[in-house]
Structure 1
């Protein structure tokens, strides 16, 4: 291929923002098509089988190629996935370059949430706290949003979720309902917010009242969840920050208002969900390979 070196040169010298955008797309494409195999520790028969099965589903004629061409195609796919996996530390640093200082606004928190004095954690309590009733406070959903919003640039933040059986994380416009019908105030149930929800081992993404089940992630446990948002790109992406495993990506197109970080630590879930959701220093975390 006479132009292969030219193509490599172009990729190597791409602007970091474009590299990150393309990397995100590659991660989600391969997770959806190959069952989240971009971060496997080795290549085995199951991997080859899944690639073949994917080809059968996407293009049955392609799998009928002669054995030599099949081997070539599998080799290219494997090498690409290994390359993507090898770039995890580099990509982590790109995400970290957009690390945001997120402080939770206690004046927006549901009365059954305890917000730390530093504004970096939210904990559920059975006790209804004596707090001022304000229009900005959620009164029937266990939500809290950040003090500061953003309407330009890119931001990345991480939340520690270890030891929890229920949580929701995401982004919202300031106009999300705070009082009224409970179903209107949940994250992701309206067009004002985007979120990923975890409940008893299962993950789902929500926006506009539409649930996107994420069966490939069932049973997976993460210590931290990362949320990346490109305001100019209209992207909201969720990742398992431990291994930079892609969870879900929303392509919003164009955002219509300022965005605020939002979270819900959930109820006690029969005594299994008492731990806090804690905002971490995303600029210091390292991926586990």
Structure 2
């Protein structure tokens, strides 16, 4: 589980693969081929951003090159209590689907260039799909707003 309380700063040493400004984490292992995973999120008013990213995303500083969805190296679904939105290369699209579940499924087909997000409850409902060309391995990533958490299922 990943949690951001917005209160306590943990005394971790600097590391080149650690984001130093944004409350984001990138998984150590890539997803390859066709892959599906689920997570549960709980959140404060800013929610969470569920992302896939190239490992080459910048980690140091506060530029858009370091922020999931604001560059050409990452794609992200923002989940909040009131809405979903999708972002890539700083283009944010509000999605017409209303949040009904705190469980999200993510499907990646690397060679086909497909990234899909689903709302998962008793049924699976498509939130958003994007077709693109992935040029590098993809890594799951999570950005958390104050008071939010993410747990892989």
- The answer to whether TM tops 0.5 is yes
Once the two structures are superposed, residues 169-198 of structure 1 have per-residue CA deviations (whole angstroms, 9 ceiling, x without a partner) of 010000111112243322111000111002
Selected match of 2:51 from 147, 166, 170: 170
**Is the 8 Å Cα contact of residues 43 and 145 (structure 2) preserved in structure 1?**
no
Q: Structure 1 residues 250 and 178, CA, compared in 2 at 3 Å: closer, same or farther?
A: same
Aligned equivalent of 2:138: 259
Cα deviation digits, residues 205-238 of structure 1 (max 9, x gap) = 0111111111x223x3213000000011100100
Q: Runs of 4+ in structure 1 displaced over 6 angstroms?
A: none
1:130 aligned partner:
11
For the residue of structure 2 that corresponds to 1:171, the secondary structure is: strand
CA–CA separation in structure 2 for the residues paired with 1:162 and 1:153: 29
TM-score (norm 2): 0.90
Q: Which has a greater percent of helix?
A: 1
Is 1:148–2:29 an aligned residue pair? yes
Q: Which has the higher contact order (CA 8 A, sep 6+)?
A: 2
TM-score, structure 1 as length reference: 0.49
- Structure 2 alignment gaps of length 5 or more: none
Q: 1:198 to 1:262 in 2, by over 3 A?
A: same
Aligned: 1:187 with 2:68: yes
RMSD: 1.6
Q: How many residues align?
A: 150
Larger of the two Rg values belongs to structure: 1
Residue 119 (structure 2) pairs with residue 240 (structure 1) = yes
Q: What secondary structure sits across from 2:93 in the alignment?
A: strand
Q: Are the equivalent residues in 2 in contact too, given 1:179–1:185 (CA < 8 A)? A: yes
Question: Which residue of the partner structure matches residue 32 of structure 1?
Answer: none
What SS class does the counterpart of residue 217 from structure 1 fall into?
coil
How far apart are residue 158 of structure 1 and its match?
0.5
Structure 1 residues 55-204: aligned runs within 5 Å: 121-125=1-5, 126-150=7-31, 152-162=32-42, 165=45, 166-204=47-85
